Amino acid sequence: MAKKLRVFVGLSGGVDSSVCAALLKEQGYEVVGVYMKNWSQDLPGFACPWKEDYYDAKRVAVQLGIKFQMFDFEKEYRDKVVDYMLEAFESGITPNPDIMCNQEIKFKLFLDTALDKGADMIATGHYANTAEGQLLISADQNKDQTYFLYRVSRDALNKTLFPLGKYKKPEVRKLAKKYGLITATKKESMGICFVGKVGIKDFLQQFVKTKEGNILDQKNKIIGRHDGAIFYTIGQRHGLDVGGGLPYYVTGKDMSKNEVYVTSDIDDAKLWRKNFELTSLHWINQPPQNDQKLFVRTRHRAPLTKCIISVTNQKAVVVLSAKQRALTAGQSAVFYDGNRVLGGGIII
């Protein structure tokens, strides 16, 4: 009789990872649940939910009759994800910590640690699919998380299972109830990937020094004050302390002058781009051919847009079929050829 494959499942304490573990056990794998402790620091007015999530993950493991462990990655997470995020914001760009977490923690550190401890493969509750080292979009295109996974390596994908890839979210909730999981009705966590309900501004205020500065409109007229240029991103409308009754949108900022620039014109050229450049490229398999026609997603849930890409060394130039609003330095552009994810890079 063939030995069962041993799969270490990242159990976050949420419904998706819980169903992921239940499905794998039902499919005949030897499943080990693992809670990754990435962050435990409380912030003023916000208690870090890690203990609640840890105990929910442990309860699910008990319900399923599987072994359970905790991997403490807090130091590495601070070094690889949090410090990266803080440095990026301080330089004036808007990073995506979820993407860096997947690259450095879940599909590198967790994978390596699991393999060292006897795993054959790992699994997570992401909505994505894989096939022969390829990353493919999930059946639930509304929940698809391939945008956040584009920096995962081919080798890691070959060692990873995504059991939820063929399901839609309502089906996953139904499965959780079918299995009687205690997380079946648990709400999804929002906010920063590692601090639960804390918003990005509340988090940044604890770690970076900021000072007030001027907000200038498209005519270079001072129309208000901001409480730190670091908090504002291209296209932002809410959170601007300006009067006049008109909606204003952030078009840029100057970190050295501590100024934020806005416009009341939704058609302002500074808000719209058809061409942009990328750096820090990552291709899962082969890079695309120059002038290859693809689809690109420039932020999570943004519509796929037709584009042409040209790659030179570690940079790429992208030409969109139509202008897009609020392309933001520091965010990722991810490229798709049909349902296959090729990779992507960081917008500059």
List 20, 48, 193, 307, catalytic entry: 193
Q: Quick one: CA dihedral 143, 307, 324, 273, positive or negative?
A: positive
Q: Is 20 a catalytic residue?
A: no
Please answer whether residues 79 and 226 qualify as being in contact, where contact means their C-beta atoms are separated by less than 8 angstroms. no
Please answer whether residues 282 and 329 qualify as being in contact, where contact means their C-beta atoms are separated by less than 8 angstroms. no
Burial of 53 (0-12, 13-18, 19+ CB in 10 A): buried
Q: Which two tokens stand for residue 268?
A: 């302002």
Please answer whether residues 130 and 15 qualify as being in contact, where contact means their C-beta atoms are separated by less than 8 angstroms. no
List 20, 48, 101, 307, catalytic entry: 101
Residues 6+ apart with CB under 8 A from 293: 306, 307, 308
> The tokens 């026609």 sit on which residue?
293
Q: Which two tokens stand for residue 341?
A: 């994810």
**Measuring CA to CA, which residue among 236, 253, 177, 245 is closest to residue 201?**
236
Please answer whether residues 335 and 294 qualify as being in contact, where contact means their C-beta atoms are separated by less than 8 angstroms. yes
For the chain, count helices (H), then strands (E): 9, 17
Strands (E), 181-246: 213-216, 222-226
Q: Which two tokens stand for residue 55?
A: 């105990």
Cα–Cα distance between 278 and 314 in angstroms, integer? 8
Q: Is 48 a catalytic residue?
A: no
CA 277 to centroid of chain Cα atoms: 20
- The residues carrying an active-site annotation are 101, 193
